[in-house]
Amino acid sequence: MMKGTGTLYGVGVGPGDPRLLTLRAADVICGSPVLAVPGSGSDSRAAYEIAKAALPQVGRKELLTLSMPMVKDADELERSHNRAALQLAERLQAGQDVAFLTLGDPSIYSTYAYLHRRVQKMGFAVEMIPGVPSFCAAAAKLGEALVSGEEALHLLPASYGVEEGLRLGGTRVLMKAGRELPEVLCQLHERGERAMLVQNCGMENERVCRRLEGEVSPDYFTILIVKEEGE
């Protein structure tokens, strides 16, 4: 690692409740002169607002907004991730630590993972600060154990199609369904499977449903937990 340069931290702020921010995350956020967030997407400001609610001094720190569009085109994603990594590198080269704030945990479906690898290859120090994963918080809200004994746990990105994943045994957690939620619910109905739902876990507009009845509005922060019959 290059001497005299800053460290990039990927900081998980938890699912939504500021009280779930870890002590380690609070230390890193307070000690970093620059905070970074993606400039687009449903979670672009959510992680920042959670950190600010837990730590009022966050509002006085410099906020670096990175241009990272929520698209699936591989070439466009590559370009945007490279640009964002260069933006971070400028601050790190100047000796500033940067805390990239992300919902849940930075190792689980987080934009930060793409930047972590790129910045590390540039020769800068990087570190992930774990946070409470949203699906664990959702299970707690439902009062359900995700798995026990020999049961398997599968995490599925619902926005990319889940037909094959639903065939897996054990507990299936469908994350970030967003606009695909109606299609996902239709597939579950066709399979005769029951899903439990949590939307906006830990936030003011939280919704918890052990049994889905009637229409469910699509929401980016939607977690579906599907357990095998009899569990």
Task: Name beta bridge partners: 37.
Answer: 65
pLDDT bin (cut points 50, 70, 90) of residue 152 is very high
- More confident call, 228 vs 91: 91
pLDDT single digits (tens) 90-124: 999 999 999 999 999 999 999 899 999 999 999 99
Quote the pLDDT of residue 75.
Answer: 82
Quote the pLDDT of residue 77.
Answer: 84
In this predicted structure, the answer to whether residue 230 has a pLDDT above a threshold of 60 is no
Angle at CA of residue 47, ends 43 and 51, nearest 5°: 165
- Asked if the domains at 7-129 and 134-226 fall in one CATH topology, the answer is no
Buried b / exposed e along 191-207 (16+ C-beta atoms within 10 A) = eeeebbbbbbbbeeebb
Distance between CA atoms of residues 65 and 121, nearest Å = 22
Helices (H), the chain: 23-31, 46-54, 74-93, 112-121, 134-142, 181-191
Share of the chain above pLDDT 90, in %: 67
Quote the pLDDT of residue 61.
Answer: 96
Q: Which of 12-21, 59-68, 132-141, 182-191 has the lowest mean pLDDT?
A: 182-191
Quote the pLDDT of residue 218.
Answer: 78
Q: Which helix (H) or strand (E) holds 153?
A: strand 153-157
Quote the pLDDT of residue 177.
Answer: 80
CATH architecture entry for 7-129 = 3-Layer(aba) Sandwich (3.40)
Distance between CA atoms of residues 40 and 32, nearest Å = 22
Q: How far apart are the first and last CA of the chain?
A: 49
Is the domain 134-226 a CATH 3.60.40.10 member? no
pTM: 0.91
Pairing verdict, β 153-157 and 62-66: unpaired
Distance of alpha carbon 68 from the chain centroid: 15
Residue 129 phi/psi, 5-degree rounding, is -110, 110
pLDDT single digits (tens) 27-75: 999 999 999 999 865 566 899 999 999 999 999 999 999 987 666 778 8
The domain segmentation of the chain, as residue ranges, is 7-129, 134-226
Quote the pLDDT of residue 154.
Answer: 96
Distance between CA atoms of residues 3 and 124, nearest Å = 9
